[in-house]
Amino acid sequence: MKNSAFISVLGFLTAVLLSFQVNAQQKTKKSVFIIVDGIAADVIEKLDPPNLRKIARAGGFAHAIVGGEKDGYSQTPTISAVGYNSVLTGTWVNKHNVWDNDIAEPNYHYPTIFRLLKTQWPQKKIAVYSSWIDNRTKLVGDGLPQTGNINVDFHFDGLEHDTLNYPHDEQRDFMHRIDEAVANDAAKSIREQAPDLSWVYLEYTDDMGHMYGDSPAFHKAVDYADKQVGRIWDAVQYRMKNFNEDWLIIITTDHGRDSVSGHNHGGQSARERAGWIVTNAKGLNEHFRKNKASIVDIMPTIARFMNLEIPTDIAREVDGIPLTGEISISNLKADKRDGKILLKWTAHETAGRVKVWIARTNHFKTGGKDEYEPAGEFELSSGKAEIDLKKFPSAFYKVVVEAKHNRVGRWIVDSTK
């Protein structure tokens, strides 16, 4: 009898444990990313905003490069819309083609995280809450045929054109009030509708940076933004506590500021390139922890969290790598010399091999397909490879190195041809 009772209790406890495990596995994954405009990493470190600190304690804080590869093929202007699109697409400007705030000719062949999500799961809901309407209409491309007529299910934007309720003043206090409205609507919508993927954009900090540079007025704007982020974080926590949902929140910036006065940005100085990421993400990896991240890593991080499968032809174009979970390889460098491509990388595992693929075309840029040819297999731990180009004559190469947990890629452009 005692053994029978023991077995019954053990069976009950096992069933309960399995139930908890199943429920954990079945949690709906949702994500929100917030771009707070124009705050260099040193400002966040100096001010240590309390709500960002709370979120970082749940996950982490890291420096994150903006601006692409300095003096390289992917060097990217440290300008607002340029940075937003790097976050959205996981690519630098040489691919997404948004060079300034005019957003004249985005290359929609490089899809945003929203479009990838809607392609895989059309029923999932997406949202944009923004102090600038162009983020939804031009960058995400809401309703445009070039984006497959993607539909943004929830949006709150365009208030910059509402001069009746938000009359424009020289001190740009109207923009602070717009940010307040955007943050409040985002928090309310997340609490009530809980879109699967949301983007919140807040502008006022950049306005104060341009007007006052490094100053108490700028720091006050950062404090405002932190409180706005806090309200959104409260909504996320409410959803996690009361619903069977697992949420990822990522907060970042689009560019830093100049080191002389803090008024300007757009160049490639260290401070203009000094972005940052705050997140509640679990399982942050070495790439994040060692401050090797960049803003293009946000898109693949969201994709990994949401179990979003990126098609191979698109994944080969993505410049970022996930900031969570296992990775095999990062920091790929490529140099063409003496008829060879010399590759170097950082290995994050001691065993395993990598496959190197080469494409000599860039048809993807115009909506076509590139043919990738195998160029050899190499030991991951060696951190290097040489590719003889006799079989691959060209003035342009895309090189992709595939490892067990992720892939990295580079372009090689012969400037003499």
Token pair listed for 384: 């290097």
Q: What is the pLDDT of residues 360-384, one digit of tens each?
A: 999 999 999 999 999 999 999 999 9
- pTM, full prediction: 0.93
306: left (phi > 0), else alpha (psi -120 to 50), else beta?
alpha
CB contact burial 64-93 (16+ within 10 A = b; e otherwise) = bbbbbbeeeebbbbbbbbbbbbbbbbbbbb
Residue 164 has pLDDT above 90, yes or no: yes
- pLDDT digits over 193-228, tens only? 999 999 999 999 999 999 999 999 999 999 999 999
Sheet-wide strand order for 340-347: 329-337, 340-347, 384-388
Amino acid symbol at 329: I
3-state SS, residue 152:
coil
Question: DSSP 3-state assignment of 373?
Answer: strand
Looking at the chain, how many residues does it have? 417
The structure tokens listed for 172 are 């740009």
The values of phi and psi at residue 22, to 5°, are -65, -45
Query: Which residue type sits at 67?
Result: G
pLDDT of residue 414: 78
* pLDDT tens digit sequence for 21-32: 545 569 999 999
Q: Which residues pair with 199 in a beta bridge?
A: 33, 128
What type of residue is 352? Answer: G
